[in-house]
């Protein structure tokens, strides 16, 4: 491997490991916002420039290893409280894997008195998520409030506008405003991370954003909602009704008290909008997607499908056609 190839690999590894944008690396390390873009286009910087940048990367890594990453979490529902619990409980293991200590220093939620099974005694408390997003007491803002507008959108925008990295699992927010938020992140040099918004257990978003290079994607489809898949699987395997399966799913915590967002197909539509926008490089709004949920599926439908050698599943599907991008649930 030549010196320039090794240098390019070092730069890409540095960026990927920190979740930085190319612009942020250019500004913080190289002193040129377009440096990475030029490097990827074949530019070969002089040896003294490479050495200067390698030294800056090393200095940053050493400083970062000694400085804890201070995290502010907005929203302490099931996901938010679990995140805080994991960081508090498994801090040493996370430090070993990541090379930097993670510390939750501040939180924001509606009620201070609610028992969430976590210790918030020593955490700075905010009633306003926007104030948390802009606070100097955090390095990373995590949005787990939910909702496509309102405080969630305001807080994420506030963090990105000052160049603060954001992590969110809010698929409704991303499906509606993802393109504009991504532009804002690029302009400020902040990182917008949203891997948990779609298929949280599978690194599908990272793969689409970073791993496919020049590959041209023609179609994306899949099962994107666990609640619907649980219901349809039990209906097929056990011969029980939709209503009975739904009640069991609610008892087990797989379905919400109001399951409309899941069984109506809207959750899948939001996830599909995010994936399709990444795959095809265009903005796709959830309300542009034809949606048909599973509420009308009966045992008669299950039987007919089985007789034909099929199983019924709720799929999110998007593909290129002569008329543009077609999508449906």
Residue 22: partners with Cβ closer than 8 Å, 6 or more residues away? 15, 35, 36, 37, 40
Q: How many domains does the chain have?
A: 3
191 domain-assigned: yes
Chain segment 287-303, per-residue pLDDT in tens: 888 999 999 999 999 99
Instruction: Tell me the residue range of the domain where 145 lies.
Output: 69-197
Among residues 62, 84, 111, the one where a domain terminates is: 62
Catalytic residues: 271
- Per-residue pLDDT at 280: 82
- Per-residue pLDDT at 32: 82
Tokens of 270: 């939001």
The answer on pLDDT for 166 being more than 70 is yes
- pLDDT, average across residues 230-240: 90
Average pLDDT, the chain: 85
What CATH number does the domain containing 234 carry?
3.30.360.10
- Per-residue pLDDT at 315: 93
Q: Are residues 20 and 53 in the same domain?
A: yes
Q: Are residues 238 and 321 in the same domain?
A: yes
Q: At what angle do helices 242-251 and 226-238 cross, to 10 degrees?
A: 130
Q: Are residues 287 and 227 in the same domain?
A: yes
122 or 140: whose pLDDT is higher?
140
213 domain-assigned: no
Chain segment 193-227, per-residue pLDDT in tens: 887 777 767 777 777 776 666 678 888 888 988 88
Cα four-point dihedral sign 113, 118, 148, 181: positive
Q: Are residues 186 and 268 in the same domain?
A: no
Q: Are residues 107 and 188 in the same domain?
A: yes
The answer on pLDDT for 1 being more than 70 is no
- pLDDT, average across residues 253-282: 84
pTM of the prediction? 0.69
322 domain-assigned: yes
The answer on pLDDT for 273 being more than 70 is yes
């Amino acid at each position: 491997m030549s010196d320039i190839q090794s240098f390019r690999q070092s730069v890409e590894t540095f960026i990927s490991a920190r979740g930085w944008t190319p612009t942020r690396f250019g500004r913080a390390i190289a002193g040129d916002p377009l440096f990475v873009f030029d490097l990827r286009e074949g530019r070969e910087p002089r040896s003294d420039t490479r050495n200067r940048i390698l030294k800056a990367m090393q200095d940053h890594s050493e400083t970062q290893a000694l400085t804890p990453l201070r995290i502010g979490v907005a929203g302490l529902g099931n996901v938010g409280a679990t995140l805080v619990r994991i960081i508090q409980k498994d801090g040493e293991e996370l430090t070993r894997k990541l090379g930097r200590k993670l510390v939750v220093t501040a939180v924001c939620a509606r009620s201070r008195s609610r028992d969430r099974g976590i210790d918030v005694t020593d955490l700075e408390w905010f009633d306003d998520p926007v104030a948390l997003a802009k606070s100097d007491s955090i390095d990373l803002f995590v949005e787990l409030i939910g909702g496509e507008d309102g405080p969630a959108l305001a807080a994420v925008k506030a963090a990105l506008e000052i160049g603060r990295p954001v992590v969110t699992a809010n698929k409704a927010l991303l499906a509606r405003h993802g393109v504009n938020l991504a532009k804002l992140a690029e302009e400020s040099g902040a990182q917008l991370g949203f891997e948990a918004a779609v298929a949280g257990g599978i690194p599908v978003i990272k793969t689409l954003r970073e791993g496919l290079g020049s590959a041209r994607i023609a179609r994306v489809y899949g099962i994107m909602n666990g609640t619907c898949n649980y219901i349809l699987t039990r209906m097929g395997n056990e011969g029980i009704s939709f209503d009975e399966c739904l009640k069991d799913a609610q008892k087990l915590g797989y379905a919400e008290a109001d399951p409309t967002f899941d069984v109506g197909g809207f959750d899948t539509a939001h996830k599909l909008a995010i994936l399709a926008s990444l795959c095809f490089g265009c903005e796709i709004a959830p309300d542009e997607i034809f949606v048909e949920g599973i509420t009308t599926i009966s045992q008669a439908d299950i039987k007919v499908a089985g007789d034909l050698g099929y199983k019924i599943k709720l799929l999110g599907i998007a593909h290129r056609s002569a008329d543009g991008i077609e999508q449906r649930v």
